[in-house]
Structure 1
Amino acid sequence: MVAGRIHRLLKLIALLQSGRVYNSTQLASECDVSRRTVFRDLRTLQESGIYVLYDEDKQGYTLPWRTIVPFKDLTFEEVLALLVLCQDLDKTIVGLPVHQFARSASTKVLNSLPDSLRENVIDAAQSISIWFPPFNPTMRNGMHYKNLFKATIEKKNVRIQYACGKEQKTVSTMLSPYHIVYANHEWFVIGRSSLDRGIKVFSLLKILKSEILEESFKRPSRFNLDRY
């Protein structure tokens, strides 16, 4: 099996486990292959013991989380560290939009483990705690974070309005969000601004309005986060 096909099969699995139902045409478009190739890849997954389900109502394919157990080779110590870190984040960080995702992810990992390992990890976790310095990152509007997080992952342009300068003048620009970074208790988005015709850093606290657009972008290979 060539490397290209392995990469395509992994992408197919990721799409099917995303929670969205895809039909064969959509899968073909996402993987940049024909529908015939998609059907062949689905058959390969079935033959490998990965049972893709077909939803009659939605006319598409999906792959339940527990169909694959990707974490079975994790050691006891690895799972315990992951669980303790993610669970204790929830107790000390208030307002950080990613902490709930870390907690839910650790729960999914835990639920995918063999029963004996899962029970041992849960029992051991009751005896370990990590105390992080408590802090409360400021967020003006969680919706802007969600929009920019989604747009960054999906590589979609965003129309934003933000407060600019000492006068707090409202300015509008189309942003191609390349990266989201959390620093000094604050969120920033870095990307190309149509108004500035170059890469700029925006504080999410300054963003007053955000709207995800249909237009996609491609992040330049020369982009380097360390420059910003």
Structure 2
Amino acid sequence: MSAMRADRLLSLLLLLQNRGRMTAPELAAELEVSVRTVYRDIEALGASGVPVCADRGPAGGYRLVDGYRTRLTGLTDAEADSLFLAGAPGPARELGLGAVLATAQLKLQAALPAGPADRARRIQERFHLDAPAWFRAADPVPHLAAVAQAVWEQQVLHVHYRRWDGEDRQVVLHPLGLVLKSGIWYLVASADNTPRTYRISRLRSVTTAGQPFERPDGFDLAAYWAESARRLESALHKGTARLRIAPRARRMLPMQFGAAGTRALETAGPPDDEGWVEVQMPVETTAVAVSDLLRLGADAEVLGPPELRAAVARTVAELARRYADTP
């Protein structure tokens, strides 16, 4: 029997043990095989001595004889590793660990006593993590699995990388870790002994050199990422806009501008008679700030700095001129 089929038979057995009665189409969907394959696998389990019962009728399906439990629940190394991604099945699939994670979860559930196993199933039914951001197509990441393997095995990578400004570079990297931020995958890697961040979707080609490297002593991926994010935010927000905003804009700031909008609300003064308040809003360059702040429409007024107010006024005047005549 092939290793692949043996793994599938064990997964089928654990599905019946953990979930009770299941129909052939339900088993086929879980195992990602045809219904015909499920029929053959059920016969193979029966021939090997597993007491599988077939219940006929609309509410029928396959189940194990009451009281039967298998102890074949040992985790492989890959399955144990994949459990750390149990809360993020989508990213696990992108890393090529979807099937491994599913098998590991089945084995873990089968090994738990009835009480903890029921609690684990209830948690899985009631809590779900959806990592990608709203209203944005996912980045194409054809090289993600290869990069992840190099991260795990500490293998040097030769990559063709397209920078944000369109410049192409050939880079030799020591991959240190992967980060998933708002649905976007990033590689943290050392080039010339300096950790840097690379967006996975900008990798045009990836080649493993077959050469191991030593990780820097004490490198902390989470600490690096937190500091990198702080530096990026400081570099982006070069100025502060003084705004007068309506109640509707107060509700929109966190949704439109994230952490910057939340911080702006913390600076709000007392409302006037119409409920408008003044806030201090971190902004990028004048050109970017004009585009961003106009998203608030008539619910916001830029009070300062003068050059930003003037730039918004020019843009609004140009829009008014353009839309003055009906085409």
TM-score (norm 1): 0.49
TM-score (norm 2): 0.36
Compare the two structures and name the one with the higher helix fraction.
Answer: 2
Larger Rg: 2
